[in-house]
Chains A and B, each alone.
Chain A
Amino acid sequence: MMRTEFHATKKPAQLDIEGDLSFAHVSDLHAALLTACDAVDELVVSLDKVTSIDAAGLQLLFAVCRYADKSKKLVQIVPGAASERIDRILEFSGLTSPNCLAGDIAQ
């Protein structure tokens, strides 16, 4: 299960990802991320409700940060309650954290 919810009117705009950040949903998620990134200049991607993550999901987060670097848009990924999960998969796979991953939710 994976669901996204885009709060375009929030300041900054926020995309909530809920459920499995995994291969089965990366295509849907990719589309949702593109739409959100195109719509606003400043975006917070919240992983607070993410319940699982795999290598394909992780990869997509890196792609978000790459995009943020290139486009000069302000994109921040906020792990929230999923931070321990993210830390574990990063440590397990020997990857360094994507550079737009934040510690706390920006208000």
Chain B
Amino acid sequence: MNELGSPLETFREEARELLEQLEQNLMQLEEHPGDHDSIDGAFRALHTIKGSGNMFDLDDLVGFTHIVEAVFVRVRDGKLPVSRELIDLSLQARDHISRLLIEAESGSRDTATSERSRLLSMAFEAHLGDEALGASGRRSDEQDAAAPKDSEHQPEGECTYRIEFTPAADSFLTGANPLLILNELAELGTILKIGYCEAIPDLKEIEPEHCYLRWVILLTTDHGENEVRDIFIFVEGSAEIKIDVIDEVDPLIGESGYKRLGEILVDRGEIERKDLESAVSSKSYIGEVLVKKGFVSEEQINSALKEQNYVRDIRENRRTVETSTTIKVKVEKLDELVNLVGEFVTMHAGIAMVADRKNDQDFRAAAEQMEGLIRQVRDLSIELHMVPVEILFSGYRRLVRDLSEDLSKQVQLKLEGTETELDKNVIDSLKDPLLHIIRNSIDHGIESPEVRKRKGKPPTGTLRLSAYYSGASVVIQVVDDGAGMDVERIRQKGIERGVIDNSDRYSEQDILQLIFAPGFSTNEEATNVSGRGVGMDVVRRNIEAIGGSIRIQTEKDVGTTLSIRIPLTLAIVDGLLSRIGDSLYLINLSYIVECLDLKDVRTAGNGGDMIDFRGEIVPFLDLRSYFGVEGVAGEHPQLVVVAIEEKKIGLVVDALLDKYQSVIKSLGKIYERVEGISGAIILGDGKPALMLDVDRLVKVTRDEVKK
């Protein structure tokens, strides 16, 4: 078998052989005009050339071969005798197909060949008699895409279908799993599946290979009836399928309560109207009466009740959506409000300072009262700017679905903590990084169903997106139950790339963080989904740009968790003001573990470059020398212990001043390239202060220690 070339090359080779076979069959037919084997052989050769040629879009070849084949169908069916003339013509056709094949190969198109196609086609058509030439075998979906059926229900917006589905008794045997159909339907919208098992006989009587189950399915969807019907395409004709629209938004009629129980049953054809009427007259509960009288089974009543509740719920939801009291506000306006409040906060800090300095009791009290109010206004305006992460999370549903389909994986997306709120701007900046992470999880993390089964996991992988508050931050986690990351392999790669050396001083977290290095990927077989590690470095950069940090936990065959910690808001920050020489620095309060007098702290490590912080050896950084501030250190230098994801360092400053709440201004050009500074603020008295980029400082310091 020639498996080396491309399928197209294989096809040419195959077509040449088939033409050879066709010629043999034709020669045989010339001697024995009635030879069935030769007729069949000739037909099959033409049929295969046409069918396969079609797969390669060889239109000229397919179109011509189709006509010749059609004539041989007539010969095969005994409607046309094999004549000398037909053999001659067929041999010419054989040569012509061969030429078309060569032209297809060279890509050239000779007008003489087209003309010959036309002439030969006409000659063959003459042998077709009255039989109209069927479809040329071109892509059949074009023919199927005819006008929609008259009866099709094409709703505007959502509507609810009632689908009664009774699979054929032999549906299990023909490989048609009715549950797969339920699964496909569920993908179209909101669904209520009511299964009926009342037709199942007892153990003595059951034919175990027969299907006795049937379903009533309520589906609320904005897909048209044809799309719903398409799902049943393979069982149409054998299964019983009845589709009715039971609820839709009708602007003219509006909607009142849903049908009564009895009407539903009549609708479904499960009870005669006269039986219903006879039951209605009695006073007791209608369902009970109907069962007692033996008109319907309990299962049918329960099913109808479920339908009633389902439609009520759907309508209820619709109403809630329509009447919820919200107004739309442009994001820019909100931005402006938050900004103004920020200015307000700054100005108040100034007033408070003045009040302090003047030592005026009344002035001070007024300033304090004002502070309370400002805090409320501030909180409210930040709240206005907050949106639930649901908006962010639910945007990934489609991605997860499409991606898992593309990769032939089964992935279930679970969303947790969707009500957690985050600054709109933060949400916007998280969109792309999360997208990358989710892609990676599905592509590299979650295994194919086969692999999962082998590992003893359920075939469907779970991807969990969760969000929760943690102090002044929000933590967003992407958790998969996939293969986990191979720490050893990442380490090896890191050594190969010279990013780390071959020693054991790197923690697992250090090694895992390598995946965020530019161009770093351990997956030899890059796929077209996540590519070769492209993006993960961008992911970290984007997250760091909004003051966030990212952490990985992974366990082989159990899964991977990526935790992204981000500040609640970008606009306003609570900080601790500290001083080095004449310069002021603000340290984000949410990172501060503790403040100590430096003299109370024992140094540790070789050369005293570490401190002993409650038994933990922690590196520290003298900010004075780090930022190159001139002059000598203060008399009582202070140590501020900060931590990012449990990684601690100490920062040495001259003095600690006060807690301070401030709006962060973006940095001017001067500070753009200063590592360790993330922004600047103007204090109430007009002095500038710099915002420390704690995340960066922790990283730099800990990297330094490693070297």
Q: Which of A's residues lie within 8 Å of B, judged by CB?
A: 23, 26-27, 29-30, 33-34, 37, 54-56, 59-60, 62-64, 66-67, 69-71, 89, 92-96, 98
- Selected contact of B197 from candidates A26, A54, A95, CB within 8 Å: A95
A30-B206, A54-B177, A89-B179 given; 9 more Cβ-contact pairs under 8 Å: A23-B173, A27-B208, A56-B172, A59-B208, A60-B203, A62-B197, A63-B206, A93-B215, A95-B195
How far is it, in angstroms, between the C-alpha of A89 and the C-alpha of B206 when the chains are bound? 21
- When the two chains form their complex, are residues B209 and A67 in contact, meaning their CB atoms are under 8 A apart? no
Among B178, B200, B215, B302, residue most surrounded by chain A Cβ atoms (within 10 Å): B200
Do the beta carbons of A64 and B213 come within 8 Å of each other?
no
Cα distance, A61 to B215, chains bound together (Å): 18
Write the chain B residue with the least CB distance to A26. B208
Secondary structure of the B contact surface, majority rule: loop
Q: Are B179 and A55 in contact (CB under 8 A)?
A: yes
Number of residues of chain B lying within 8 A (CB) of chain A: 27
Complex Cα spacing A34 to B215, Å: 28
Instruction: Write the chain A residue with the least CB distance to B303.
Output: A94
Q: For the complex formed, measure the closest distance between the CB of A65 and the CB atoms of chain B, giving whole angstroms.
A: 9
1/0 contact string of B169-212 vs chain A (CB within 8 Å): 00011000111001100000000111111001111101011011
Q: A89 to B200, alpha carbons, bound, how many Å?
A: 17
What's the nearest-Cβ distance from chain B to residue A2, in Å? Answer: 12
Most chain A beta-carbon contacts within 10 A, residue among B192, B196, B206: B206
Q: Looking at the complex, which one of B173, B202, B213 makes contact with A93 (CB distance below 8 Å)?
A: B213
B positions within 8 Å CB-CB of A: 172-173, 177-179, 182-183, 192-197, 200-204, 206, 208-209, 211-213, 215, 217, 302
CB distance from B457 to the nearest CB of A (A): 13
Q: Is the CB of A23 within 8 A of B172?
A: yes
CA distance A37 to B202 in the complex (A): 12
Determine which of A33, A59, A71 lies in contact with B212 in the assembled complex, contact meaning CB atoms within 8 Å.
A59
**Contacts known (A93-B179, A94-B215); A66 close to B172, Cβ less than 8 A:** no
Query: In the complex the two chains form, is A62's CB within 8 Å of B200's CB?
Result: yes
Distance in Å: Cβ of A75 to nearest Cβ of chain B: 9
Q: Are B212 and A67 in contact (CB under 8 A)?
A: no
Provide the residues of chain A in CB contact with B302, threshold 8 Å: 96
**Contact call A55/B200, Cβ cutoff below 8 A:** no
Residue pair A29, B208 in contact (C-beta under 8 Å): yes
A19: shortest Cβ distance to chain B, in Å? Answer: 14
Question: Which of B177, B182, B196, B202 touches A66 (beta carbons < 8 Å)?
Answer: B202
In the complex, chain A residues whose CB is within 8 Å of the CB of B201 = 63, 66
CA gap between A87 and B215 in the complex, in Å = 18
A26 touches B203 (CB 8 A): no
In the bound complex, CA of A98 to CA of B176 (Å): 24
A55 to B200, CA, bound (A): 12
Asked if B203 and A37 sit within 8 Å, CB to CB, the answer is yes
Query: Residue on A with the closest CB to B215?
Result: A94
Given that A55-B213, A94-B215 are contacting pairs, would A34 and B204 also be in contact in the complex, using a CB cutoff of 8 Å?
Answer: yes
Q: Complex Cα distance A37/B203, Å? A: 9
Which residue in chain A gives the minimum CB-CB distance to B204?
A67
Whether the pair B179, A56 counts as a contact (CB closer than 8 A) is no
* Known contacts A54-B179, A64-B203, A66-B202; is-contact A59 B197 (Cβ 8 Å): yes
B202 pairs with A56, CB closer than 8 A? no
Residues of B within 8 A of A69 (CB): 202
How near does chain A come to B643, taking the closest CB pair, in angstroms? 41
Is B182's CB under 8 angstroms from A93's CB?
A: yes
Q: Is the CB of A63 within 8 A of B200?
A: yes
Q: What are the residues of chain B within 8 A of A67 when measuring CB–CB?
A: 202-204
- Chain A residue numbers with a CB within 8 Å of B192 are 94
List 27 A–B pairs whose Cβ atoms lie within 8 Å, in order of A's numbering: A23-B172, A26-B208, A26-B209, A27-B208, A27-B209, A29-B208, A30-B206, A34-B204, A37-B203, A54-B179, A55-B178, A56-B172, A59-B197, A59-B200, A59-B212, A62-B200, A64-B203, A67-B202, A67-B203, A70-B202, A92-B179, A92-B182, A94-B194, A94-B195, A95-B196, A95-B197, A95-B213
Shortest beta-carbon distance from B235 to chain A in Å? 14
**Closest CB of chain B to A33's CB: distance in Å?**
6
- Please, which residues of chain B bring their CB within 8 A of the CB of A66? 200-203
Contact check, B208 vs A60: say whether CB atoms are below 8 A apart: yes
A105 to chain B, nearest CB (A): 21
Q: Is the CB of A60 within 8 A of B172?
A: no
CB within 8 A of B172: which of A55, A89, A93, A95?
A55
In the complex formed, the residue of B with least CB distance to A57 is B208
Q: In the bound complex, do residue A56 and residue B209 qualify as a contact, i.e. CB atoms below 8 Å apart?
A: yes
Q: Tell me the minimal C-beta distance from A38 to chain B in angstroms.
A: 9
Query: Min CB distance, B207 to chain A, in Å?
Result: 9
